[in-house]
């Protein structure tokens, strides 16, 4: 299950994003993918039908990656979505609990 970090902001993994029941239950209408590859075309097509917005940040989940250079536009995407009452999920491929 994704973890809520703020109102209308969740952190999760690819499995969470692929579970449309979970996304609907949480009211997620915006997806931010942080991974070297974007979501598959099938998932993006479903998201388009469901009127979800989608943003991809092409980075790897490694210590040497320059993630900070992406913060301005990712924060803007998150804040714009939340200001429109859209819940956002930020995810990457792996289960994020491996960080803890």
20-31: pLDDT as tens digits: 889 989 999 999
**pTM across the whole model:** 0.83
Q: Quote the pLDDT of residue 100.
A: 40
More confidently predicted of 61 and 13: 13
- Concatenating the DSSP letter of every residue in the chain gives -PEEEETTEEEEEHHHHH-HHHHHHHTEEEEEEESSSPPPHHHHHHHHHTT-EEEEE---SSTTS--GGGHHHHHHHHHHHHHTT-EEEEEESS-GGGG-
Cβ density class 16-27: b for 16+ within 10 Å, e for less: bbeeeebbeebe
**What are the extents of the domains in the chain?**
3-99
- ∠ CA 85-19-51, nearest 5°, is 40
Classify domain 3-99 at the CATH class level: alpha beta
Q: Quote the pLDDT of residue 94.
A: 58
């Amino acid at each position: 299950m994704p973890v809520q970090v703020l109102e209308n902001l969740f952190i999760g993994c690819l499995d969470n994003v692929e579970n449309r029941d979970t996304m609907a239950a949480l009211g997620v209408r915006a997806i931010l993918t942080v991974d070297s590859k974007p979501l598959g075309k099938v998932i993006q097509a479903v998201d388009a039908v469901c009127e979800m917005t989608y943003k991809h940040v092409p980075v790897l989940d490694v210590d040497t990656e320059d993630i900070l250079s992406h913060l301005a536009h990712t924060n803007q995407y998150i804040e714009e979505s939340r200001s429109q009452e859209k819940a956002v999920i930020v995810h990457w491929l792996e289960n994020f609990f491996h960080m803890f």
